Structure 1
Amino acid sequence: MNLTLASGAPRPSQTFRTVFPVLALCWLAVFFDGMDVNIYGAVMPHMLDDSGLGLTPASAGTIGSWTTFGMLIGALTAGNLTDWLGRRLMLVASVTLFSVGSAVCAVAGGVALFGFGRFVSGLGLGGLMPLCLAMVMEFAPPRRAALTTGLLMTSYHFGGMAATGLGLTLAQAAGWRWVFWAGVLPAVIAVPLLLKLLPESPGVLLARGEREKADAV
């Protein structure tokens, strides 16, 4: 949001303070999004070597499709649910969903349960990116919108690199399940920060008729 003086002149310091916490929190959420999306591919060789799981190259591809299907549903439903819950709570729900999905994958004893876990993760992953982009665009200064969204998108790629690092180190040293346990960290780290520090979308508040809260944000 672009806060102004009574004369109408922009106040750059307040504009920066408005966008920075939102950008930082969304950056963290999208970082975990990128990590979770790429974590399956990073540990797949170790999973194929685990005879107890029963994963085959064919079923591995099917599970990847279920993840994508979950992301599709998540992306399509996030907008409608946001009208009821608000963007802040939907972001929290999205992070919680893909963290729970990762926990299911970590304890899965067979391909069916593991595939279900990846589908649940996909539901959260699909809704997160559009929500974070909308939040950052809403709070970004008009002349810095492209820069702000570009900075946000770097987090996805850092998350992908983190997933690769976990696959090369943690999976090799402790097993592939521990990599998915690492995927539960977003619920531990990001969710409390989002609940405590992320403001609600002023646009959502105005749509609800909560003008005073929107003005305060």
Structure 2
Amino acid sequence: MSKNLTTGGFINPQQLPLEQVCLEVAALLKVTLKQIERLELWPHQIWVKFVEGRGKFISYRRLPLWVEQGIAAINNCRDHSSLKLLAEALSVERDWYQDSNDSELLQQWDLTISLWRQAWGEKSQEITQEEEQLKPLRAHQQAASNWLQSWQQVLHFCSDCDSLNRLATEIEQQSHEFADLPEIMAALRQILQQRWLELSHTKVADAV
């Protein structure tokens, strides 16, 4: 079953700013704040309790805050995968009032969807640009990872300390290319140190 912004976890009604919700509910219902006794933020609707005793349910989607929350959810996406997942929820939201005959409501909802569509397009473009900018860095990181794995295999088959010293010199010469990746260099130093200890222990054992 397709999920909307709340059931999909993109908006948590319990975390909405109550003061802003109260102001927008009062504006929507054309009442003063003094006429509202309290609000209850239910999972899918707002329960409005009036001072005079009666109550009424209001949809979150009738409030300007809902537009802001949708845009905030879009801006919180960090990659195309999360943006695509959100798009599925927005498509459910888009059709929310498709059976309504309220022209004013439909006009307002069309504006909401238009604003979300614009924000989604801008975010998608932003993520694409960021990914393009990161491509050289990711390629560099992958090359460093491959370099580390290759040396790990070579060092594994190194059989004596003299050979290890020569290899360490060669590694030092090559390492300048990846000096900007301290985690790679630290990992290789650890491998070298471990292999040195292993060969040293072997040498001592042979001498005994």
- State the TM-score, normalizing by the size of structure 2: 0.28
Tell me which of the two structures has the higher relative contact order, counting C-alpha pairs closer than 8 angstroms and 6 or more residues apart. Answer: 1
Considering fraction of residues, name the structure with more strand: 2
Q: Which structure is higher in helix share?
A: 1
